[in-house]
Homo-oligomer: A and B are copies of this chain.
Amino acid sequence: MSTLSPLPPGMTIGILGGGQLGRMLALAAARLGFSCHVYDPDRRSPAFAVAAARTEAAYDDTDALAAFGDAVDVVTYEFENIPAETIAFLAARVPVRPGQRSLEVAQDRLAEKSLMSELGIAVAPFAAVDRMQDVYSALARTGRPAMLKTRRLGYDGKGQCMIRQGDDPRNAWRVIGEVPSILESRVAFTREISVVLARGENGAVAAFDIAENTHRDGILHQSRVPADIGPDVAGQAVTWTRAIADALDHVGVIAVEYFHQEGSGAQPLLANEIAPRVHNTGHHTVEACRASQFEQHIRAVVGWPLADPSRHSDAVMTNLIGDDIAAWADIAADTTAALTVYGKAETRRGRKMGHVTRISPLKST
């Protein structure tokens, strides 16, 4: 990745992906005086409505990509499932941040777990599954229950199937579509936490305070900050996240989810998943921190120094999924609630439509 001088306000940031993350990135970029050009195949992308320029085209449309690359000063992306070829095509024309390596690792659950393992980061036992018969040897390594996940293109609980005692592993193999996969031991844990941090081009790192997350139906329901963990666990999680960011030479925001197990004996912290981008568990940073994850990402992408990520308030962020958004009028009337609505054209079951953040004074400093 080439080194950029800090881009001055007025330059144009290209954003691949026009969902809610792209939208919130564009809003943060605008505040710093940048123009945004959003690229997405979907005409109704929420980020189009807040961008100075829009390209509605497929990710493999090389004419559109070339024109987009010519029109912008730097490119970033809102999600890790942008085709690697798209990124490679653009990277030959314009700086792309984060780079190829962050994307490759995050697109492949096996590469992700292998990297963490190589870095000495504790992860649950796992094994590659390339064909049906691999499931049996993999189960011998992970035990049951274990989760069979596609290596690629899974998110929010999609592309995965649990194998419990008595389950026929062939069923799981069919459910996930008989594609290259990873089997992961399903470990007991007390809570899930996530580290969201930004890494600058110069290797500087700034971590937000750690969030504690709960899920419903495989989708994030709530993140609260601070997490109910001690300083040793927090320090370990940040150190590991930084090691991952360094190993990837990541530029921008990165999030790593961890399982935290309380009590003696067990390994207290296991890394679960890397997201090489702004993250749903960092949305509270808009209301509760001196700078948001979106601003930090933009700062890293344009080569600016990172901002102070410190928190001025405690916070609870709750996702509005599917029909939850129908309660917008009640939430609007709730003076404890800061509402963010993503501007999606259609409400669908399981779709993230917005979120609510409730802040309160810091309990301790």
Contacts and interface: CB of A to CB of B under 8 A. Distances in A.
B27 A31 contact: yes
| Chain A: number of interface residues, binned into ranges | 35 or more
Nearest to A286: B31
Residue picked from A6, A312, A345, most chain B C-beta under 10 Å: A312
Contacts of A340: 31-33
Interface in A288-306: 290-291, 299, 304-305
Contact of A359 (B33, B312, B345): B312
A304 B332 contact: yes
A287 B325 CA distance: 26
B33 A50 contact: no
A327 B41 CA distance: 38
Contacts of A339: 32
A266 to B, nearest CB: 38
A342 B10 CA distance: 9
A52 interface: yes
A152 to B, nearest CB: 32
Identical chains bound together, number: 2
Contacts of A270: none
Interface in A172-209: none
Residue picked from A343, A345, A354, most chain B C-beta under 10 Å: A343
A307 interface: yes
Residue picked from A32, A291, A325, A345, most chain B C-beta under 10 Å: A32
A328 B8 contact: yes
Contacts of A124: none
B33 A354 contact: yes
Given A26-B50, A34-B343, A50-B51, 17 more contacts: A9-B325, A9-B328, A9-B341, A10-B345, A23-B30, A27-B27, A27-B30, A30-B343, A32-B340, A33-B328, A49-B52, A50-B50, A290-B338, A290-B359, A304-B333, A305-B335, A308-B336
A304 B339 CA distance: 12
Nearest to A358: B290
Contact of A35 (B305, B312, B328, B343): B343
A341 B32 contact: yes
Interface string A306-350: 011000110000000000010011001101101111110100000
A259 interface: no
Given A27-B31, A35-B343, A333-B305, A338 B291 contact: yes
Contact of A33 (B333, B335, B342): B342
A363 to B, nearest CB: 14
Contacts of A265: none
Interface string A5-24: 01011100000000000010
Chain A to chain B: the 6 pairs with minimum beta-carbon distance, closest first: A33-B341, A49-B52, A308-B335, A9-B341, A305-B333, A304-B332
Nearest to A53: B49
A23 B36 CA distance: 14
Nearest to A36: B49
A271 B268 CA distance: 62
A50 B329 CA distance: 25
Contacts of A9: 325, 328, 341, 343, 354
A50 B30 contact: yes
